[in-house]
Chains A and B, each alone.
Chain A
Amino acid sequence: MVTDNKRHIVYSNRYIEEYFGYSPHELVDADLFSLLSKASQIIYEAYIVPLIAREGCCDEIRLTLVTSAEKLMPIVVSARHDSVYDRIFWSISSVSRSNQLFEKLTETKSLLEQKVSLLRTLKDTDPLTGLPNRAALTKYLDQEMLSRKRNGMAFAVAFVDLDGFKEINDRHGHHVGDKTLQLMAERLTGNLKSDDMVARFGGDEFVIFLKDCFSASLVEESLTRLVSKLAEPFKVDTLPLNLSASIGVTLYPQAKDVEPGQLIRQADQAMYQAKLAGKNQVCLFNTDNEVVQKEKHSELLAIRAAMEFGQFELYYQPKINMRTGKVFGVEALIRWNHPVEGLKGPATFLPVLSNTPTGLALGRWVITTALCQQQIWLQKGLKLQVSVNIDGYHLQHPQFLRDLSAILSDFPNLPKQLFEIEVLETSTIEDVSHVSSVLNACRLMGIRISLDDFGTGYSSLSHLRDLPVDTLKIDRSFVKNMLTSNNDLAILKGVIGFAHAFGYGLVAEGVETLQHSQRLVELGCECGQGIYIAKPMPARAFPTWIDEWYQQACQEKYKNSFV
């Protein structure tokens, strides 16, 4: 079709007639607009005229044509302007191909939209549990902290670590481990509010973002509920299993500005505290804790340095038979010759060492040093039983027996039965059967075992039954009050009765006066130690003391009562 500069049709061919019903002579001089729908007329004025004015042509523009039968028919037109004759040449074609293209493009667009959203999802999702992953968590936390600055809402971040997951993985394989993680993920999401966010941080670690947290106690309460839910027994493929979780939680906002990463670290630290405190519980992070952690760290560093500089020393307190006066042994007690603070007792530095590698190292040093001293004395003809104190955590350490035999092998000439281990903090022993087997192994080597501070811990009696021991050491608190308190005297009598019934040896601690000694002997406890006999002393002072003891002190102190 050809039109002039006034839109009048000057020529149309037989295809126009064939498809749209207008014969060529019918169209001559007709306005092109008489063939176009109203909407097409707007497209013509708004797009085609400017395009032709600028480019001299336009391509593949979709319009609607009105046929001679007054049907609306979609068409695609292209136009070329002939500037010499000021004519426009039109090509008009069926719309089916363009329609197909349009449908395809629409399909492609929706497919692309799906794929893009799938990719976004995959990027932010942990494939195993379907939970948001660490990257998504970080992004989410950043956003929430930003919006927190605007809306002022408080929130909490909790760090969850499964207790005993590694064992499940090791014992039953990754298949069971994976299913366990999926199940725990379900329990986490199922037991939290829908607007709380749970992310898998890595391995068996999850991070929970709790919205709208009004108080620490509410947060602790809901997380404690969560802990008990997580600890419920479960099954993987009919295999009955159970584990628990330790959760650390920190609150936001805080007095000082914190970064998102710092919040996660705080929650992680609190989680570690929950583990130390015995697992299967919630521990709240507080900024004071952070200070305590830092102080603890610097104390440990100082102790390490003190070990290197040889500032630790063993003092020895004699144990005697109060009936015969015989000095049969010594208890080795650790002291710290602090360059600034002077001589420090164990109560000032042992607590911080609990459950640390430094604590274990110091324990090994004590054993070695005591054995060394014992050998020196033996070479001088002093045959003494030497006892050392070993903490519960040291005893339970998997390396303990191996370390002990290695140390002992350096002293092949020492009679093992002269060496005694005093077991401390028996009430904190968690795995009694494990400790029992360790102590048995020690006794098989010939080492003697005594229970220290006997009578103070709640579980002492069951320990008597379960732990293999040679001697009970009666706690100083009973001895101290035995002369004035009938109750303490009764306990003392009971302990002495137990020891005789089980066939254990007895040593009383805290013998402060002659009366104590005499009364103890009367009650059937012949052995004792305490300041009435002698204070703990450096090794170098011991030979002089024992000489004096035998020459006169014992006679003076015990008024020649020894047999």
Chain B
Amino acid sequence: MLTKEQVVARNNVTIVGSGEKTLMLAHGFGCDQQMWRHLIPHLKERYTLVLFDYVGSGQSQISAFSESRYRALEGYAKDVTEICQALNLTQVHLIGHSVSGTIGLLASIAHPELFASQVMICPSPCFLNMPPDYYGGFECADIEELLGLMDRNYIGWANYLAPLVMGLENSELLTSELSDSFCSTDPVVAKAFAKATFFSDYRHLLPQAKHEALLLQSQQDSLASPDVGHYMHAHMPGSTLRLLASEGHCLHMTHPELVAQEINTWLRD
């Protein structure tokens, strides 16, 4: 097993706030723990908040990335459980945004002893359309286009070229420096996360849920529509669905008070 120090360094784990209850905040595809910054002020007085970056995101150790492990969401779920184990956390309330709802579900089914409940913000168990029963919102072609756009969008072009110029020995140092700039991760790594997120279908997991879950869904969200929310609620035992009067997929950034209020209510009961 990895030591606490190793895991903390690998996943850039930070702990803020204090409180009996432990909330672990898991970011979604495309960003890192910075995306929780608007929500943290509303929660840190009451709870202990555990923040982290998945390997390959934010300021995690990119050297820990392995294509085989992070090809599927199970690899990301291992990050979650390994952090809990290394930090000796139990009764964790897992707050996961978007794909981290599914990652949390994988983690809590694999290691139910670590978790108390789940809060899923704009979750989706499958982003692809699977007619006639299920419409995740996207066709495979859309995701292929996404991967193409990601290639062309890399702010971190220097990331792309520098390892070649500087030689492999220095690339780790360099990459970690460049990762300071928001959202500029290695394109290979980011695309692995994109593929694991958008090509997968974990609907079969929903009935296996072992913990109560709060599903926070936006009334208008093209990545995770209310229909997806209804589908999940119908298939997940012990789930509560809350459709919020909001737009967009990043509720915790655009409507932090609303999300905090829902979490407080959920944890009070």
Contact = CB atoms under 8 A, between A and B. Distances in A.
Contact of A40 (B30, B149, B248, B250): B149
B160 A109 contact: yes
B38 interface: yes
B110 interface: no
B35 interface: yes
Interface in A489-504: none
A64 interface: yes
A54 interface: yes
B146 A113 contact: no
Interface in A39-88: 39-43, 45-47, 49-51, 53-55, 61-64
Contact of B182 (A37, A45, A55): A55
Contacts of A14: none
A112 B34 contact: no
Interface in B129-172: 137-139, 142-143, 145-146, 148-150, 152-153, 157, 160-161, 164-165
Interface in B240-263: 247-250, 253-254
B183 interface: yes
B248 A7 contact: yes
Contacts of B63: none
B106 to A, nearest CB: 20
Given A33-B222, A46-B29, A50-B31, A116 B164 contact: yes
B223 interface: yes
Contacts of B46: none
A109 B139 contact: no
Contacts of A61: 153
B149 A46 contact: no
Contact of A38 (B35, B138, B153, B183): B138
Given A54-B37, A109-B160, A62 B249 contact: no
A109 B142 contact: no
Contacts of A149: none
A102 B157 CA distance: 10
Nearest to A43: B149
> Which residue of B37, B38, B223 has the most chain A CB atoms within 10 A of its CB atom?
B223
Given A49-B249, A53-B38, A105-B157, A39 B142 contact: yes
A41 B249 CA distance: 10
Given A39-B143, A54-B182, A102 B152 contact: yes
Contacts of B146: 38-39, 42-43
B76 interface: no
Nearest to B139: A38
Contact of B247 (A6, A37, A40): A6
Interface string A201-242: 000000000000000000000000000000000000000000
A49 B29 contact: no
A62 B149 contact: yes
A42 B198 contact: yes
B101 interface: no
Contacts of A39: 142-143, 145-146, 148-149
Contact of A45 (B138, B152, B183, B249): B249
B35 to A, nearest CB: 5
A51 B181 CA distance: 11
B142 A112 contact: no
B135 to A, nearest CB: 12
B28 interface: yes
Contacts of B143: 39
A98 interface: yes
Contacts of B161: 105, 108-109, 112
Interface string B171-186: 0000000000011000
A43 B183 CA distance: 12
A233 B34 CA distance: 75
Contact of A53 (B149, B150, B153, B254): B254
Contacts of B148: 39
Interface string A148-191: 00000000000000000000000000000000000000000000
A38 B128 CA distance: 11
A552 B14 CA distance: 117
Contacts of B183: 47, 50-51
Contacts of B34: 50, 54
B137 A45 contact: no
A271 B88 CA distance: 64
B168 to A, nearest CB: 10
A6 B160 CA distance: 35
Contacts of A98: 152
A49 B256 CA distance: 14
A45 B248 contact: yes
Contacts of B249: 45, 49
> Which residue of A45, A55, A61, A64 has the most chain B CB atoms within 10 A of its CB atom?
A45
Nearest to A5: B254
Nearest to B183: A47
B145 A64 contact: yes
A108 B223 CA distance: 36
A105 B161 CA distance: 9
Contacts of A64: 145, 149
B120 to A, nearest CB: 16
A10 B81 CA distance: 46
Contact of A50 (B138, B222, B250): B250
A53 B250 contact: yes
> Which residue of B34, B150, B152, B248 has the most chain A CB atoms within 10 A of its CB atom?
B152
Interface of B: 28-31, 34-35, 37-38, 137-139, 142-143, 145-146, 148-150, 152-153, 157, 160-161, 164-165, 182-183, 198, 222-223, 247-250, 253-254
Given A43-B153, A63-B149, 19 more contacts: A7-B248, A37-B145, A38-B138, A38-B139, A38-B142, A39-B142, A42-B146, A43-B146, A43-B150, A46-B30, A47-B30, A47-B31, A47-B183, A49-B249, A51-B183, A53-B254, A61-B153, A98-B152, A112-B164
17 contacts: A7-B248, A38-B137, A39-B149, A42-B138, A42-B142, A42-B198, A43-B146, A45-B30, A46-B29, A47-B153, A47-B183, A53-B254, A55-B182, A62-B149, A102-B152, A105-B160, A105-B161
A-B residue pairs, 7 tightest by C-beta: A46-B30, A38-B142, A39-B145, A39-B146, A45-B249, A53-B253, A62-B152
